[in-house]
Structure 1
Amino acid sequence: MGGVRALNPLDAAYAGSKRINAQYGRTYFLATRLLPPERRPAVHALYGFARVADEVVDNPGPDPAGDLLALEGALKSAFDGGPTENPVLLALADTVHRYSIDRDLFSMFLQSMRMDLTVTDYADMDELARYTHGSAGVIGLMLLPVLGTVSPEAAPHAAALGEAFQLTNFLRDVGEDLDRGRVYLPADHLAAFGVDRDRLTFARAHGPDRAVRQAVAHFAAVARARYREAEPGIGLLDPVSRPCVATAARLYRAILDEIAEAGYDVVTRRAVVPTGRRAALAAPGIARCVLARVARTRGPAPGA
């Protein structure tokens, strides 16, 4: 009598990371569908690990610092070939080995996660940049070997795109971060509009005033500038990866559009791109994805 064949542990680990990506990172997951199938599991593994670390600091247990330290120790052991019962780490270790991803990038990422346990405000953009490079810029660098490049000059653009995504997340989640006691928007930029933590907290309860809306509009402009810095790097990626990354950027920029359409109210509501609009934004990427795969299958034209 036949039955469903059980997945081997590594395949099951990758499948679990894919479920995490699908559940918690819908925008990333949609864009990842535009990658060649053989490259998608690595992206799911990287996302799954980032999500696990995020959960330690966003929904902490009694000892989040100890939990992060334990995660780092388990990660090092998995990288060194040691046994692991954590399927996310199993998939991640295989991805890091398969694509020769720099292990130091994970230490930088976890350092930023530690900052979330003690740092609740940022004085200026330089302070925030140190956090965002570790929390998001290095994610772009981790992904580069998976996506493939045609030029080593892609690295700073990849980091910039990760940081642009992070700035967009900061704007989208201002209200939720306030509830956690955090303000990621730099204090000096807020002060230029007469805004501080107390004013944001009041707006969380009573709605944003003109000054808060102006401050948010300013940060949206900062995020858009970061996307412009990142954009030239898309053309430096492997052609089959470009539709995925371009679509991810388009989908995340759409969050900024939703924020603008809501009158820059990010304290009483969370901007969400409607499903229909997400599909419409992804459609051009699907067409380019098909063309890129056809071109790769056929190979270069004679004389190209």
Structure 2
Amino acid sequence: MGRSVFLSEQNKRPSIQESYNFCEYIVRRSSTSFARSFKSLPKEKRNSVNALYAFCRRVDDIVDGDWLPKIQENKKFEIKSKLKFEELKLKYGKSKEYSNVELMARIKALLWFREKLDILEINPKSLNDPIFIALADTVNKFSIDIDNLRELILGMEEDLFHVGCQTFEEMYSYCRKVASSVGLCLIEIYGYDDDDARKYAEDMGIFLQMVNILRDIEEDYKRGRSYIPLIELESYGIDYNNLMQAPKINPKSWKKFISDFLQKTQKFRISAMKLIPMLNHDSQHSPRLMCEVYDAILKEAKRREGDIISNKLRLGFASKISFALASFGVRLNQSEWT
């Protein structure tokens, strides 16, 4: 994408407004529904959410997409990259998805993002990348703990090597890194009136990510990733190597496993919903809408009684219409779409 569309001279440091415009472009390009859901936010908050989303989008693209930043390497950075590469390989082993060359490129990219966060804390005015310029302005306006963004990068590093979650606790830990970390940043932008909001934001991240794990179970399996806890799976008599056939090979055990998984997800959902009324009134719409969407997926999974592999979890047409209208401020009674 040509930066000149949103930024002035390419050899000139982008202004703060140009940087926010660039972040908004990334949001709209990645998810128009996401962009619509935040249109009710005051402009300052909406700009900051766009900056946070753009950062998260790029980090995710490094691991799951085909985007890598252009890095001006020096000897010091090259040494740090090699040390990080060896550290991660020692910790996680061989990557199932990427060759060593591909892996090194992604590790360098994540390290580059980590170093930009360090600069953001120490000398933000030296940053020239529009995402980090906007993010620095956001951090300056709101009490965002940058360590939460570092946690997100840790989760992305795990995904590069992902060897599988063994227990529910390991799965919860992963969810905290890749989802709760972002939620803890978002609530600082939204504003809240109770310190318990941080606990509920963490639980909301786990709730949303657990739904994602069920929704993407087949896609992740094909990529060699297992977020479903393997030891727990085995305790139900289900072999991960035959996971895609589990509903047919061992239907009773599979239904029981999914039922128990949904019950655990529901507990986090109940806690997560306590967050909404604690948020500033002008910021409640988007997280409430997101919870309703994920709640509908959760209900669909429960209705199917474990049939989530042969037929991927998706919202029905009437539900999609309801949430599309809701993103524009039009609400339907639940009975009209369930």
Range of TM-score over shorter length: 0.7 to 0.9
- Are residue 58 (structure 1) and residue 100 (structure 2) matched? no
- Are residue 219 (structure 1) and residue 225 (structure 2) matched? no
Query: What residue ranges of structure 2 are gaps of 5+ in the alignment?
Result: 9-13, 66-97, 332-338
Partner of 2:335: none
Partner of 2:281: 239
Q: For 1:89-168, what aligned pairs fall within 5 Å after superposition?
A: 89-168=132-211
CA RMSD across the alignment? 2.9
In structure 2, relative to structure 1, the CA distance for the partners of 1:86 and 1:210 (3 Å cut) is: farther
In structure 2, relative to structure 1, the CA distance for the partners of 1:86 and 1:106 (3 Å cut) is: same
Distance in 2, Cα, partners of 1:248 & 1:93: 26
Once the two structures are TM-superposed, the CA of residue 165 in structure 1 deviates from its matched residue by: 0.9
> For each residue in 1:53-111, what CA deviation from the matched residue of structure 2 results, as whole angstroms up to 9, or x when unmatched?
11222247442222211221123224431444433222222211221311111112211
> For each residue in 1:238-269, what CA deviation from the matched residue of structure 2 results, as whole angstroms up to 9, or x when unmatched?
11212222111101212223334555333344
Greater shift in the superposed pair: 100-109 or 209-218: 209-218
The answer as to whether partners of 2:180 and 2:204 remain within 8 angstroms in 1 is yes
In structure 2, relative to structure 1, the CA distance for the partners of 1:157 and 1:170 (3 Å cut) is: same
In structure 2, relative to structure 1, the CA distance for the partners of 1:37 and 1:56 (3 Å cut) is: same
Distance in 1, Cα, partners of 2:61 & 2:230: 26
Q: What TM-score comes out, normalization by structure 2 length?
A: 0.74
- Are residue 280 (structure 1) and residue 330 (structure 2) matched? no
The DSSP-based 3-state class of the residue aligned with 2:145 is coil
Q: For 1:40-55, what aligned pairs fall within 5 Å after superposition?
A: 40-55=46-61
Distance in 2, Cα, partners of 1:150 & 1:186: 36
Distance in 1, Cα, partners of 2:291 & 2:225: 26
Query: What residue ranges of structure 1 are gaps of 5+ in the alignment?
Result: 289-304
Determine which of 64, 70, 75 is the counterpart of 2:112. 70
- Are residue 194 (structure 1) and residue 237 (structure 2) matched? yes
The answer as to whether partners of 2:103 and 2:160 remain within 8 angstroms in 1 is no
Partner of 2:11: none
Q: Which amino acid aligns with 1:56?
A: I
The answer as to whether partners of 1:137 and 1:160 remain within 8 angstroms in 2 is yes
The answer as to whether partners of 1:154 and 1:236 remain within 8 angstroms in 2 is yes
Greater shift in the superposed pair: 99-108 or 206-215: 206-215
Once the two structures are TM-superposed, the CA of residue 199 in structure 1 deviates from its matched residue by: 1.8
Partner of 1:183: 226
The answer as to whether partners of 1:255 and 1:272 remain within 8 angstroms in 2 is yes
Q: What TM-score comes out, normalization by structure 1 length?
A: 0.81
Give the length in aligned residue pairs: 283
In structure 2, relative to structure 1, the CA distance for the partners of 1:223 and 1:20 (3 Å cut) is: farther
Once the two structures are TM-superposed, the CA of residue 200 in structure 1 deviates from its matched residue by: 1.2
The answer as to whether partners of 2:7 and 2:19 remain within 8 angstroms in 1 is no
Distance in 2, Cα, partners of 1:174 & 1:26: 24
Once the two structures are TM-superposed, the CA of residue 27 in structure 1 deviates from its matched residue by: 5.3
